[in-house]
Structure 1
Amino acid sequence: MTHRPIRGRRAALALAAALPVAACGAQADRLKEVGRPPSLSAIENPTASPGYRPVQMPMPQMEPVSYAPNSLWQSGARTFFKDQRARSIGDILTVKVRISDQAEIENTTERQRTSSDSLGVQGVIGTQLLKILPDGTSADALVSSNGDMSARGTGTVNRAEDVTTDVAAVVTQRLPNGNLVIEGRQEVRINFEVRELIVAGVVRPEDIAADNTIDSAKIAEARISYGGRGQISDVQQPRVGQQVLDILLPF
């Protein structure tokens, strides 16, 4: 019976010893940047990132290209004259991020249930039971049960988000049907805080405006991330030990 508390103390000591080791690498990197502003990320090829995977989507059947004699028009061409809009891998276009989201949700749930059951035996069986049961027992109410349950829940969501900015994106892939896969990253450092903006998705060349811009609402499979890192973001995050305990502790 005395082994369980000892095992519990050993597990707690092992967890306490593992937390500094797990955070050692992150803390060492932070110690190197004491008194220095956060460093910007190097410009890299997005397709060479470890987590990058080419986009694969259902494509329509390709139509063979045919040429008409004495004609400047090519079947399958999207434009008659060449313009400066992005169309090939490596081209750059500007994404106008316009996010204005507002949601108000309020739910109230109330549930209540009351039950009452009783069991009695009469006749010959009831008479025989009364002979063996304690005095004062009634055959009409040998078993009785009562139950009462009530539950009430209330939930409210009030969210408002507004992001307005422009970011340049690079065409990283051209799909067989002509759609373009784009990805753009932007980092802005203000004092000791770095703001990051990431935009990725699939766009149609027809949706690209004449000034080589496209609205974020016209991006399919859009992935837009806006956040930051630095001293302010670090203060707003719980400590590593607290995050681990929040995951492991069941209460």
Structure 2
Amino acid sequence: MVSAFQSEESLIDPASYRNLAADHRAYRVGDVVSVYVLETTRAKSQAATDAASGLDVRVGLDSPSTRYNARLGMGASNTGGAQTTRLGEVRAQIASRVIEVEPDGRMWIEGEQVLRINGERQQIRLRGVIRPEDIAADNTVLSHRIADADIELTGVGVVSESTRQSLVYRLFKWLRLM
């Protein structure tokens, strides 16, 4: 006989239960893992040209009474150089959710974070694949351990608007007037 205080169902769901001594790293859909984004990119391209040419023609005529000398010279040189340097750096920590687990245990993660700083809206979005062995004991993973990583940082506001080129400037640049 079952009393009014006893139940035949357990209070613990066996499908989602993890005991206190269990490993608490992400391993299934819906789990959250913290990603430390520490990315630095640097690219540099440099080119230089240096060319020179010259032509010198001398003509002379001597006679007993006069001497004629003529000289014609032409020369040209060209020197040019260009350098492009680009540097980018992103440092952030994003909580990302496991959205899919592949049969071999690899996990697709996705996360997004939005910050508003002085009216400027900044958004960082992350997506990629992580391996269970790359997740640290504190449930974190470094961004350089993410395969097929797609990390995007965008900003909208006064600062990003001020860096855009005006229509007039772009037109002059297109016409090669600048």
- The TM-score bracket by the shorter chain reads 0.5 to 0.7
**What residue in structure 2 maps to residue 105 of structure 1?**
45
**What residue in structure 2 maps to residue 222 of structure 1?**
149
Inter-partner Cα distance in structure 1 for 2:28 and 2:137:
16
Give deviations 1:94-145, integer Å, cap 9, x for gaps: 000111333443222456799xxxxxxxxxxxxxxxxxxxxxxxxxxxxxxx
RMSD: 3.1
Q: Which has the higher strand share?
A: 2
Unpaired segments ≥5 residues, structure 2: 1-20, 55-75
- Cα displacement (A) at 1:90: 1.1
Inter-partner Cα distance in structure 1 for 2:155 and 2:149:
20
Inter-partner Cα distance in structure 2 for 1:243 and 1:179:
49
What TM-score, normalized by structure 1, do the two folds share?
Answer: 0.45
Three-state SS of the structure 1 residue aligned to 2:27 is: coil
Unpaired segments ≥5 residues, structure 1: 1-80, 115-148
Q: Say if 1:238 and 1:103 are closer, same or farther in 2 by CA, change over 3 A.
A: closer
Inter-partner Cα distance in structure 2 for 1:233 and 1:104:
24
**What residue in structure 2 maps to residue 177 of structure 1?**
104
Q: Which has the higher helix share?
A: 1
What TM-score, normalized by structure 2, do the two folds share?
Answer: 0.62
Inter-partner Cα distance in structure 2 for 1:175 and 1:153:
54
Inter-partner Cα distance in structure 2 for 1:208 and 1:103:
30
1:22-37 correspondence to structure 2 within 5 Å: none
**What residue in structure 2 maps to residue 158 of structure 1?**
85
- Cα displacement (A) at 1:89: 1.1
**What residue in structure 1 maps to residue 159 of structure 2?**
232
Greater mean deviation of Cα atoms: 96-105 or 213-222: 96-105
Inter-partner Cα distance in structure 1 for 2:110 and 2:53:
55
Counterpart of 2:34, as a letter, is: T
Inter-partner Cα distance in structure 2 for 1:225 and 1:180:
20
**What residue in structure 2 maps to residue 89 of structure 1?**
29
1:58-69 correspondence to structure 2 within 5 Å: none
Q: Say if 1:177 and 1:250 are closer, same or farther in 2 by CA, change over 3 A.
A: farther
